[in-house]
């Protein structure tokens, strides 16, 4: 886990530079790019983006768990309030 966190921090700092190098490689080698000239940069980008997506997914999941707990508590409070104060007929 620590390793991936370190990689994510590294990727956040360097992803822009890697993207610039990747674009430059494609511009400098318009035909060789199809034969693997820029593949090493693409692999680095893919790893960074995969790690970034994983971190975002985890953060979103944690946020959704908190939201579900909050909604569950609100529903329980409303149900308790409704049972204490029934609607008169």
Q: What is the pLDDT of residues 2-55, one digit of tens each?
A: 444 455 555 666 778 888 999 999 999 999 989 999 999 999 889 888 988 999
**CB-based contact 45:22 (threshold 8 Å):** yes
* pLDDT at res. 25: 93
Query: Taking the model in full, what pTM does it have?
Result: 0.62
Give CA–CA dist 5/86, Å, rounded. 53
Average pLDDT value for residue range 70-85: 90
In this prediction, residues 70-79 reach a mean pLDDT of: 94
For the cut 90, the answer to whether the pLDDT of residue 88 exceeds it is: no
Instruction: List helix spans (H) across 1-89.
Output: 2-28, 39-84
pLDDT value of position 14: 72
C-alpha 34: how far from chain center: 29
Tell the burial category of 19 from Cβ atoms under 10 Å away from its Cβ (0-12, 13-18, 19+): middle
Placement of tokens 């944690």 in the chain: 62
Q: Which residue has the tokens 């790690």?
A: 51
């Amino acid at each position: 886990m620590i390793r991936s966190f370190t990689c994510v921090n590294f990727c956040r700092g360097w992803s822009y530079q890697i993207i610039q190098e990747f674009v430059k490689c494609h511009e400098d080698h318009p035909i060789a790019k199809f034969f693997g000239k820029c593949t090493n940069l693409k692999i680095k980008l893919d790893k960074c983006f995969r790690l970034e997506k994983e971190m975002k997914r985890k953060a979103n999941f944690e946020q959704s768990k908190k939201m579900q707990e909050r909604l569950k508590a609100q529903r329980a409070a409303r149900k308790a309030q409704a049972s204490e104060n029934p609607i008169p007929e």
